[in-house]
Structure formats: C-alpha cells, structure tokens
Structure 1
Amino acid sequence: FQRDGSVLDILKADYTFLNEDLARHYGIPDVKGADWRRVDGVKTSSRGGILGQATTLAKQSGASRTSPILRGNWVAEVLLGEKLPRPPKDVPRLPEDEATETLTVRQLTEKHSTDPKCYGCHRRIDPYGYALEGFDAIGRRRERDLGGRPIDTRAQVMDGSKLDGLDGLRDYLLTKRRDAFLKQFCRKLLGYSLGRGVLLSDRPLISEMRVQLESHDYHISAAIETIVRSRQFREIRGNEMASEE
C-alpha cells in the first residue's frame, strides 16, 4: 500500500521480509541478524506472495500434520470468494499423526473425499491443497512427509487445468482465475473501507474498481481512489460526521 504496488503482488511477489530466524525456517541462506529486511529473489526458494508465507500455511494445517482440505478451502473462499457449504456434522475426522499412518495425508484425503456427501465440495478445494503439500504443518519446505513417504504436489482442478506445486498454483490463479481474485480483492477492500458488509447495490462500484485496476497496471491506488470518489464512501463519512456533531 505505501509504495502503491500491484495488487497481483499479493500472489506473485518475488520478495518477502525476513530476519535470520525466519530465513532459516524458510531455507533461505545469507540472512544474518535479528533485524527485519526485504529479501528479493525468494521464488527460487518456493517463497514469495501470500501462498508462500509460513503463517498462511501453518494456520491452515492440523496440529501435527498438513491439511489439503483447510488449505484448499482457504484458497477457494478467501482468495477467490467462493461460497462453500459447511461440511456435514457426521463426517469422520482424519487421523492427526502423519508419521504413524500407512497412507499419506493426500491419500487419506482422497479416500475421505470419495464419500458422495463430500465429493462435490472436495473436488473444488482439494486440488489447491494438494499443490501446497510441499510445505509441512508449520510451513517448512519438504520433499517427504513425517513417515518418510515422497510428497506429490500434482493436481488437476475442476476446469481440467493441471498444476504442480506452489508455482503451478500461483500461475493458475494469476491466469485462469485472475478475474475472481480481483473481484474478491475489491470486495474485501470496499467492505473494509466502508466499515460494513458489501451489498448487492455495491456491485457496480466493485466492477468499476476492477476496471480501474486493469487500466492502471493493477496499482492499488486505482482501487482506493475509486472508493474515495464513490457515493457510498462520501455519504457514509458525511453521515458519521454529522451524527458526531
């Protein structure tokens, strides 16, 4: 926001902010000391953007194992704005201890998702989570799980697109799902700016925000200026000031 960067950097930024401890966690060399600093060229270490952050990956995991379901659901709902029904109450939980299972987390998830009650949603979200299986439960890169089994990050999403790993997921979101991502970003930014939920009557403004972003190389200022100039923003602020007086 401060440097008026591209909205798309949320997904594709080739930099992150690190100190020595976090750099060690990320597997990025030559970062010394406790001070935080910007580090460029982190895509070579499978980092960069919100999908490569350990906070994102760890929060959408189990206590001691990864969760393709939670990670995939987060991508679908938070990044793409999809509305998914809540899971049935009687769905059994997957085992928590990855190391002692004979199947990988992915294999357990695939077995679980064959249930007809679950398949409809899981086919929408699980492929996103499978692509992020190259990170463990606390967001460290890995090639094998806790049981020593190799990790498979290949996936096929509902539209038939095939992707592999973080890079494949990032590219898919930036190309084939860019419109959905931008719409969700505009919806969230508008709701935050207005201090309320987005209404049906806000749709024209959201569409205008997207148009302005696309015509200004996706710089965040284009969306912010569109909001500030809007009737919704000006009238809400005016009413609030009048009530305070």
Structure 2
Amino acid sequence: HLFQENGSVLSLLDADHTFVNGPLANHYGLELNGKEWQRFDGLRAQGRGGILGFASTLAKQSGASRTSPILRGNWLSEVVLGEKLPRPPKGVPILPEEAPQGLTERQLIERHSSDAKCSACHQRIDPFGFALEGFDAIGRARTNDTSGLAIDTRAKLPDGVAIEGLAGLRSYLVNTRGDDFLRQFSRKLLGYALGRSVQLSDTPLIGSMLTRL
C-alpha cells in the first residue's frame, strides 16, 4: 500500500490508518462495520498508529507470558534504527517469567539492568521498551500489568529527551530520529533487493536512495 500510494516512508512509524478484519479489530478494541478486511482510519486516537502499534510487532518482541521491554527496545535500536550494540556479557541471569510479588514488570527490569556490567546497553534500549509497556505480550492495550499493578510508560532516553507511551515514542522517532530510520530502511531495502548483506561499497547508493525518500 505504501508503494502503491507513493507514501512517505516515515508513515511506517506514524500512519493513522491500518487494515483490519473483525477478529483483529476486536483484538485492538476497535469498532468495525462488518467482519471483512477493510481500512480503518483514526488509529492514533485509539492509542495506536504505525508499525510499533501492530500486535504482531509487539507480540514478536515479547516473552512467552509477559512483555519484554528489553526485547522490544533492542529490536527498535538495532533493527529499526540500525544501532550497533555489543552482545550481552556471559553469566547474566535469566529474568523470571513472573515478577516477584510487589514488583511491577518494569521494576523487575530496572533491578536487572542496574548491574554495572549491563547498565550501559540497557540505558540505550530499555527506555524504548518502557514506552511500549501500554501493550501486553500479545499486543492488547492495557493499563495494568499481569500482577494488577499500574503501568508506567514514561521514559527518559539516552539523549535526555523525556517521552511517554507510544505517542511520545512515535513523535521522537519521526521528528528526532527520522534520518536514522530512513538510512536503516534504505540499508534493509537494498540488502533485500541485492540478496546479500550491505557493504561499505554500497554507501554511495544508499546516499542516493536517501535523497529520493
């Protein structure tokens, strides 16, 4: 649809519409006339908008029974923005599937990420994931976590920008990190078209693509 309509690539991040059928609309909490696949406009007013609000995106970067701000944040950093992060150090304990009683899922992550050998990377990825905590492990909107504790979607990014929820994250990505997203999109599209990894020699071609986006 994006290519057919000659739309902006940035609309992948902040599109105000999507395509749903009856079951998917019900999953999203949307009112739909009919059960067949159709376009739904006004998505941002419903708390979604863009690929980061897709249930498929959110569920793919979650644990088996709970959300994972770490997975979601890492995916956004590396796949969406093209950042290079070091691999986790050896011996890092695996997080439990359920937060200990009295702790929110976010507090569980913050306690884990406070380890000195882990904090440098987690400061870069966790805030992105925290902003998406308004969605559960299968992408349904929520205000409380699995323990019934209130969700906090506020986050402070490494560059000092404060955001809240998907709307704040989406605005930040489009207005502050838009060039990074477009460059990464160009890399991915070129790699797909060529059927190989992008190389240093492809830099001029990527630059040419960016001038046309």
Match for 2:156: what amino acid?
Q
Matches within 5 A, 1:140-219: 140-213=140-213
Helix, strand or coil: the match of 1:118? helix
User: Offset at 1:3?
Assistant: 2.0
Q: What is the aligned-residue identity percentage?
A: 63
| Shift >6 Å, 4+ stretches | none
Task: Encode CA deviations 1:171-204: one digit per residue, 9 max, x unaligned.
Answer: 0000111111010001011111111111101111
Helix, strand or coil: the match of 1:75? helix
Helix, strand or coil: the match of 1:163? strand
Matching residue of 1:89: 90
Matches within 5 A, 1:42-191: 42-98=43-99, 101-191=101-191
Match for 2:97: what amino acid?
E
User: Offset at 1:205?
Assistant: 1.2
**CA distance in structure 1 between the partners assigned to 2:129 and 2:108 by the alignment:** 13
**CA distance in structure 2 between the partners assigned to 1:67 and 1:89 by the alignment:** 20
**CA distance in structure 2 between the partners assigned to 1:102 and 1:70 by the alignment:** 23
Task: Encode CA deviations 1:99-145: one digit per residue, 9 max, x unaligned.
Answer: x6321111011111111110110000000000000000110000011
**CA distance in structure 2 between the partners assigned to 1:88 and 1:42 by the alignment:** 40
Q: Return the structure number with greater helix share.
A: 1
CA contact (8 A) 1:19 1:31 kept: no
Task: Encode CA deviations 1:44-101: one digit per residue, 9 max, x unaligned.
Answer: 1112211000000011011111100000001001110011111123111111025x63
Which of 4, 7, 11 is 1:5 aligned to? 7
**CA distance in structure 1 between the partners assigned to 2:104 and 2:94 by the alignment:** 15
Q: For the aligned residues, what is the CA RMSD?
A: 1.1
User: Offset at 1:32?
Assistant: 2.6
Helix, strand or coil: the match of 2:6? coil
**CA distance in structure 1 between the partners assigned to 2:149 and 2:137 by the alignment:** 15
**CA distance in structure 1 between the partners assigned to 2:161 and 2:154 by the alignment:** 11
**CA distance in structure 2 between the partners assigned to 1:212 and 1:21 by the alignment:** 38
**CA distance in structure 2 between the partners assigned to 1:56 and 1:31 by the alignment:** 25
**CA distance in structure 1 between the partners assigned to 2:75 and 2:150 by the alignment:** 24
Instruction: List alignment gaps of at least 5 residues for structure 2.
Output: none
Residue correspondences, number: 211
Matching residue of 1:29: 31
Match for 2:59: what amino acid?
A
Task: Encode CA deviations 1:150-173: one digit per residue, 9 max, x unaligned.
Answer: 000000001000000000000000
Look at both structures and tell me which one has the larger radius of gyration over its CA atoms. 1
Helix, strand or coil: the match of 2:39? strand
Match for 2:180: what amino acid?
A
Instruction: List alignment gaps of at least 5 residues for structure 1.
Output: 214-245
1:117–1:31 CA distance, 2 compared to 1 (3 A): farther
**CA distance in structure 1 between the partners assigned to 2:136 and 2:194 by the alignment:** 37
Structure 1 position 15 matched with structure 2 position 17: yes
Helix, strand or coil: the match of 2:40? strand
TM-score normalized with structure 1 length: 0.84
Helix, strand or coil: the match of 2:163? strand
